[in-house]
Amino acid sequence: MQSLPRRLFVATLLVAASNIAFAAWPSDGRPVKILVPWPAGGATDQIGRMLAQPLSQALGVPVVVENKGGAGGVIGTQAFVKEKPDGHTILLATSSTNAAAPHLYAKLGYDPIADFTPVVSLAEIPNVMVVPAKSPWNSLADIVKGAKQSPGKFTYGSAGIGGSQHLAGAQFKTAAAIDIRHVPYKGSGPAAQDLIAGHIDMMIDTGSLGSIRGGLLRPLAVASDKRLPALPNVPTFKEAGTPMLASAWYGLLLPANAPAEVVARLNTEINKILKTPEIHDKLVGMGAIVMGGTADEFGRFSVAELKRYEGIVRDSGAPKE
CATH number of 3-123+249-316: 3.40.190.150
What's the pLDDT band for 6 if we cut at 50, 70, 90? low
Residue boundaries of the structural domains of the chain = 3-123+249-316, 128-247
Q: Given this model, what pLDDT does residue 319 score?
A: 64
CATH of 128-247, one of 3.40.190.10, 3.10.580.10, 3.40.50.10330, 3.40.50.2300: 3.40.190.10
What's the pLDDT band for 28 if we cut at 50, 70, 90? confident
CATH topology identical between 3-123+249-316 and 128-247: yes
- Mean pLDDT, the chain, integer: 90
Mean pLDDT of 51-70: 96
pTM value is 0.78
Q: Model confidence over 137-184: pLDDT tens digits? A: 999 999 999 999 999 999 999 988 777 888 899 989 999 999 999 999
Dist. CA 265–CA 58, nearest whole Å: 10
More confident residue, 287 or 254: 254
